[in-house]
Amino acid sequence: MKKRVKHIELKPEMRVDELVEEMGKSGVFSAGRVAKAVEIYHEMLKAGSTIFMGVGGAMVPGGLRRVLTQAINEELVNVIVTTGANVTHDLIEAFGGYHARGEALVDDAELRERGISRIFDVYVPQQIFELFEDKIQPMFAEVTKKGARISSAELLRRIGSHLEDENSFVKAAATKNVPVFCPAIADSILGLQAWLYSQEHELNIDCLRDVHEIVDLASNAKEPGAVLLGGGVPKNFIFQSMLLTPKSFKYAIQITMDRPEPGGLSGATLEEAKSWGKVTPDAKLVTVIGDVTVILPLLVASVLGRLK
């Protein structure tokens, strides 16, 4: 009972890191946990941690593309595991496409007739996917010249090296030598396009090679830390990489809206991971219950503010 809640004080022209510091003074609810996430992230960077970032869902259509790119360029992350959706939508914009603001409460049958696909309140016109197909098919031909049996990380490195869009996180990762794994690449529009290409050309995206490559990275990781944006395949692929090494994660930050009671990994607590040996018994952990599109910009901006 010695620590009391201190109330947040706002000031004109506050920096983001100053705002989060004020949130930390309260120390409770989601405000306190956002501040703790910043503290853990900053500590990871000071310790020279190898930071694995899991990017679930469809964060790129949600406006986080440049935040991810900046995190890579500012060396806030060393390894990325993401969904095929995020890669697909990053490439859509790299190829000159776009995502449009829409409405969540709408007649979806009418949208279908108009050739518009909906991601909550984001619209993607059919012609954007046609543009994507026109651009990605010849790119597959180009990137498989040096070998057609490759991991998803190597495929995305090759694709990224051919992109010109500086806002692309796939390009930034290739430039900064940050591997981007997409273990469920088949479960995406990009995966469908890869399958179409493979019907007439040689292309084999080797998911077991992905396992080999990320386990090597986990084995050599220094003071390993995890930043988990959502759950799903990216979260599990990162955590399971430690099961084949003598190490465990010493730091972990999780931002999620999911619950643990149904038993799914997306809502599983970080404390639960101790029972698997995925994190150390004394690991520094925090789970922020909230929308990644709201929390991540605060997290990255605040960490960058502290580093400056």
Half-sphere exposure of residue 10, counting CA atoms within 13 Å on the CB side? Answer: 1
- The single-letter code of the amino acid at 228 is L
1 lies in some domain = no
Contact indicator for 17, 306 with CB cutoff of 8 Å: yes
Q: Which domain holds residue 282?
A: 16-307
Point out the residues that are catalytic: 278
Mean pLDDT for 131-137 is: 98
Total domains, the chain = 1
Lookup: tokens for 35: 């501040």
Domain harbouring 56, CATH code: 3.40.910.10
Tell whether the model's pLDDT for residue 301 goes beyond 90: yes
Q: How far is CA 62 from the centre of its chain?
A: 12
Q: What is the pLDDT of residues 61-100, one digit of tens each?
A: 999 999 999 999 999 999 999 999 999 999 999 999 999 9
The answer to the question of residue 5 being in a domain is no
For residue range 6-37, list pLDDT tens digits in order: 999 999 999 999 999 999 999 999 999 999 99
Q: How far out from the chain centre does Cα 136 lie?
A: 22
Sequence-distant (≥ 6) Cβ neighbours of residue 102 within 8 angstroms = 116, 118, 121, 122, 123
Question: Does the structure show a pLDDT above 90 at 148?
Answer: no
Asked if residue 6 belongs to a domain, the reply is no
Running DSSP on this structure, what letter comes out for residue 286?
E
Answer whether residue 276 is part of any domain. yes
What mean pLDDT, rounded, does the chain reach?
Answer: 97
Percent residues over pLDDT 90 in the chain = 97
List 117's β-bridge partners, or say none. Answer: 124
**Is 4 domain-assigned?**
no
Rounded distance, CA 96 to CA 157, Å? Answer: 20
Region 182-198: mean pLDDT is: 97
Structure tokens at 58: 């469809």
1 pLDDT band, cuts 50/70/90, is low
In a domain, 250, yes or no: yes
Start-to-end CA span in the chain (Å): 35
In a domain, 176, yes or no: yes
